[in-house]
A and B are shown apart, each in its own frame.
Chain A
Amino acid sequence: MNKILIVDDEPNIIMSLEYTFKKNNFQVFIARDGQEALDILQTEIPNIIILDIMMPNVDGYATIEFIKKDQRLTNCKVLFLSAKNKESDIEKGMSLGADAYMTKPFSIKKLVEQVNDLLQQKSKSE
């Protein structure tokens, strides 16, 4: 069973994501901001992280920098899911080492496809 970490500060968005990925047989972890996400990552190593950018305390950019520094998380895919939809925002997100970038509002179906694609890439490379 794949593990997924959802990091977002909007409870209603989290609720939709949690429902969707549970239904798709993911083990779902929830974090309300970057700090909580990093706390969870101390113990869990998810296959994929869905990361919002604009969050209180530790934002998405800071969070991915921590993730990329962590040797244990080398195989962990990161997907930015953010309302920041400018080209420069996307470039910045990708340059920080994200594997994919999706803008809000998003299509649940496409997000799931994207997540599955990323996980298949992983299995191929293995």
Chain B
Amino acid sequence: MNSAILLVILSVYLAFLFYIAHWAEKKENSRWANNPYVYSLSLAVYCSAWTYYGSIGVAANSGLSYLPIYIGPVIIIPAWIVILRKIIRISKVNKISSIADFISLRYGNSRFLGALVTLICIFGILPYIALQLKAIAETFHVVAKTAADSNVFSDTTTYVAIALALFASYYGTRYVDASEKRKGIVTAVALESILKLFFFLLLGIYVTFFVFNGFDDIYAQASKLEYFTKRNTIGGIPQAINWFFLCILSLFAIFLLPRQFQMAVIENNRERHVKTAVWLFPLYLLLFNIFVYPVAWSGNILFKGQFVNPDTYSLLIPQLFNNQWMTVLVFLGGFSAAISMIVVSSIGLSTMLSNNLLIPYGFLGKLQSEVQEKNNRRIVTIRKVGIFSLIILSYMIYRVFVLDYNLFSIGMVSFVIIAQLAPAFFGAILWRRGSRNGAVAGMIIGFLICSYTLLIPYALGLTDFDSNFIANGPFGIALLKPFQLFGIDYLDPVPQALFWSILFNVMAYLAVSVSFKGNYRERNYAEMFVDIDRYITRHENAFVWKGTAYTSDIEKVLKRFLGEQRTNRAMNIFRRKYNVDKNEELADARMIKFSENLLTGHIGTASAKILIASVVKEEKITLPEVLRILEESQENITTNKKLTETSNELKEISSQLKNANAALVKKDLQKDEFLGTVTHELRTPITAIRAASEILHDDDEIPEELRKQFLQNIISESDRLNRLIDKILDLERFESGQQQLFIEKGNINSVIKKAISPLKQLMSNKNIKFEFYESEIENWTAFDTERIIQVVTNLLSNAIKFADENHGIITVSVEKNHSETRVKIYNNGKNINPDDADAIFDKFYQSNNQNIKKPIGSGLGLAISKQVIEMHKGKIWMSNHEPEGVTFIFTIPNQNTIL
């Protein structure tokens, strides 16, 4: 086919892809651009030109060896549900834009590590892109039936590469925020995935059923080829080990290839899309591989004895049968596979290049412009130039280094280099102890070893055992033979490079991580990465940070990259989310983290950290401090709880205090009343004494009889005064609990008799009829004899006072039942107002009932009696009789005998 026509077809095809991408971009919210199938198909960017052409080449040359590249992913894909989701979650939360971001953030936002990962990716991916360009160029020449021109500028494929570079650099940099979704690209890639599969299947069906008569026919003819059997066996234990390592290699690749990370993590819209990918992607791989073997062996049959490149069998076969359309379609499929890979890889690489290498290492200074537009344009320009130069660089690598290698071996070298990220990457999400230094050490050692065992020999074109370097080792040291390092001679170059590099990588990573503690930032992120689910909701809170920063400074930085409007919006969201006051001048840890996240999407984690750090005075936090901060927050929670409890307790106490206070006020009033009464009661005898004394003193003419009477008054009033004082002291002792009882067993009958006898004379003087009824049984009870006599005397005195003046009757009776001894003292005087039944036992009680005379005496008798009886654990009360008469009753419990 004429190369001009082919170019036109290519241009139309590219324009079509352009349109699709453009359309999807516009309809970014439509179902077509946002479904799990688009996501799953976009992952098929894994199947590049290597798969499309290279698999056939490998199958034709060495049989089944092409399979491990697909078996590895299929083995690990079920685990995506856990691992990939975790990675997606971490990346979304932290606005991660590339695998370099991901790894460097985990290890304490390390600028150096980010740059290292970027470099490894560039070393790994540039040959890979070169591989695609090689595929496009070679197939172009096959289809156009032209020969590759040794002059770069007269080779048509050079211009194809430039066009591709322009396309990729335009579409890859639509957004400044690299963590934003590129719906257009994703949709275009998904479409290309469908097309490449479709064209490949079409070819397979054409070859199998139209060129040959089905699988059986191909098998029958192929089995006659002399090398058929040899190429259809695995090849014993050494080959099995090779297979094993190749599976591991591709298993790593599906996670670590920048384009896979880009599609699976960065461009992921919804976590649940992973569920679909888990079955759809392996199915896709299976469909892709169905016809690899038949086509490869068809080629072997058809081109037996000819020196053609088996990589291009898929084009040569239809061409052989002059099927031009089939040839072009297959070419377009391969072209699709290649440009998907190129575009996506270069986007990933350029993001890393700008965010993890160029900006943090130098260009950052130039980004201090106050104008957001300028900064953004600069970032975009960096990326555009990055993408463009990466592709052009790859093309040069293709022209200079890889013209002679087959697609498969170049891809393998890429895989092994990329695999050096594996220990740090998987350690990031699974192992808290993994440290930055460990990751750096592992990666550098791993990269050096695979450079020695793979990259250098390939780059220098020394892959043959004819070469002295390969055959005998450097300086003739056999142990250092690049392909048989340390004497392992049964592995192929690629598996053995993988084995040694990963072995040393892992050992270095583990050893260094275990031996040296990482800084607090690393440990902080380690916690977050390993336990992302715990931090997902409030991850800014999980960030331990100490230092001082002003919100206004941080806002200024944000405005440079986000613009006024977006910054304000973001700050509003932040304030609302954490309920932070707008006028808060100082930024806290959450604010720092939040701002870093905002910037991360634009310029990468490392640069974001550096930018924010430029306006922040951060203090180093040591491990003990981190622990203390964590403990403090724990303590705060506990303290809060305690405070709430205490506050409740205080409330209760305060209400108790209120009650107590009210009681005290009441008591105080009672005390005032008591004092008032006491002083009155004390003054009364003193008044009488004073008056009588004054008369006796001043009046000499006083008759003898009156003089004696006055003197008698003085004596009795003095006695009264003394008794009063005794009683007040008694009461005081009882009330303060100082009074003690001297309890002993005694016969209460005889004690009551003792109390009665001094009053008998008084009663008979007043013509009171008195009767005493003893208890029938001998009554031995335990009590304080003196005090009980006091009580009986008091009650009896009151009875004498209140008994009917002319026909007084008083009765005292003692009863004993099973629980207590009961003493009743009755008089036939007037009733006591029932309202006062309790109050009469208060000290200095004065009855409201003005009908009874004021008791003659201290007014303390009943109060003291009550105290005495209560100290005996008994009771005292009164009851009225109809129509007249009052009984005072007190009890002494029998249990007092135990005392």
Contacts and interface: CB of A to CB of B under 8 A. Distances in A.
Most chain A beta-carbon contacts within 10 A, residue among B687, B694, B851: B687
Nearest to A84: B680
B852 A56 contact: yes
Contacts of A83: 679-680, 683-684, 687
A83 B713 CA distance: 19
B651 to A, nearest CB: 39
A19 B717 contact: no
Interface string A51-94: 00011111000000000000000000000000110000000000
B695 A12 contact: no
Nearest to A83: B683
Given A83-B683, A105-B687, A106-B691, A12 B850 contact: no
Most chain A beta-carbon contacts within 10 A, residue among B691, B694, B699, B716: B691
B641 interface: no
Given A10-B688, A106-B690, A20 B695 contact: yes
B709 interface: yes
Interface in B676-700: 676, 679-680, 683-684, 686-692, 694-695, 698-699
A23 B237 CA distance: 149
A79 B439 CA distance: 110
A83 B716 CA distance: 19
A1 interface: no
A83 to B, nearest CB: 4
B577 interface: no
Given A55-B854, A56-B854, A57-B850, A19 B683 contact: no
Contacts, number: 70
B709 A15 contact: yes
A106 B713 contact: no
A12 B694 contact: no
A60 B717 CA distance: 23
Contacts of A19: 695, 702, 706
Nearest to A107: B694
Interface in B645-694: 676, 679-680, 683-684, 686-692, 694
A122 interface: no
Interface in A1-38: 9-10, 12-13, 15-17, 19-20, 23
Interface string B703-741: 000100110010011000000000000000000000000
A109 interface: yes
B850 A105 contact: no
Interface in B348-369: none
Contacts of A13: 684, 687-688, 691
B582 interface: no
Contacts of B695: 16, 19-20, 108
A15 B851 contact: no
Interface residues of A, number: 23
A78 B101 CA distance: 108
B569 interface: no
B853 interface: yes
B688 A16 contact: yes
A57 B687 contact: no
A104 B850 CA distance: 24
Nearest to A86: B676
Contact of B687 (A10, A23, A84): A10
Given A9-B854, A105-B683, A107-B694, A23 B688 contact: no
B683 A56 contact: no
Contacts of B713: 12, 15-16
A58 B702 CA distance: 34
B335 to A, nearest CB: 115
A56 B690 contact: no
Interface in A40-57: 54-57
A71 B684 CA distance: 33
How many of chain B's residues touch chain A, expressed as a range?
20 to 34
Contacts of B683: 83, 104-105
Nearest to A54: B680
A105 B690 contact: yes
Nearest to B681: A83
A16 B691 contact: yes
A15 B712 CA distance: 12
Given A19-B706, A54-B680, A108 B694 contact: yes
Interface in B834-864: 850-854
Contacts of A105: 683, 686-687, 689-691
A109 B698 contact: yes
Contacts of B679: 83
Nearest to B679: A83
B855 to A, nearest CB: 8
Nearest to B677: A54
A56 B679 CA distance: 17
B850 A17 contact: no
Given A54-B680, A83-B680, A104 B694 contact: no
A42 to B, nearest CB: 19
Contacts of A109: 694, 698
B691 A108 contact: yes
Contacts of A10: 684, 687-688
Contacts of A106: 687, 690-691
A58 B692 contact: no
Contacts of B717: 12
Contact of A56 (B689, B694, B699, B853): B853
B616 to A, nearest CB: 73
Contacts of A55: 854
A13 B692 CA distance: 8
Contacts of A17: 691
A106 B687 CA distance: 7
Contacts of B709: 15
Nearest to B717: A12
Given A16-B710, A107-B694, A56 B850 contact: yes
A23 to B, nearest CB: 7
A17 B706 CA distance: 13
A57 B853 contact: yes
A104 B853 contact: no
A79 B580 CA distance: 79
Nearest to B690: A105
A55 B692 CA distance: 21
Contacts of A15: 692, 709-710, 713
Nearest to A20: B695
A109 B706 CA distance: 19
A15 B676 CA distance: 25
Nearest to A14: B688
Contacts of A12: 688, 691-692, 713, 716-717
Nearest to B706: A19
B890 to A, nearest CB: 26
A1 to B, nearest CB: 20
Contacts of B851: 57
Contacts of A57: 850-851, 853-854
Most chain A beta-carbon contacts within 10 A, residue among B676, B684, B692, B851: B684
A58 B717 CA distance: 24
Interface of B: 676, 679-680, 683-684, 686-692, 694-695, 698-699, 702, 706, 709-710, 713, 716-717, 850-854
6 contacts: A12-B713, A13-B691, A19-B702, A57-B853, A84-B676, A109-B694
Interface of A: 9-10, 12-13, 15-17, 19-20, 23, 54-58, 83-84, 104-109
Given A12-B688, A56-B853, 19 more contacts: A10-B687, A10-B688, A12-B691, A13-B687, A15-B692, A15-B710, A16-B694, A16-B710, A16-B713, A54-B680, A57-B851, A83-B684, A104-B686, A105-B690, A106-B687, A106-B690, A108-B695, A108-B698, A109-B694
Nearest first, the 10 closest Cβ-Cβ pairs linking A and B are A56-B854, A16-B691, A12-B688, A83-B683, A104-B687, A105-B687, A105-B690, A12-B713, A108-B694, A83-B680
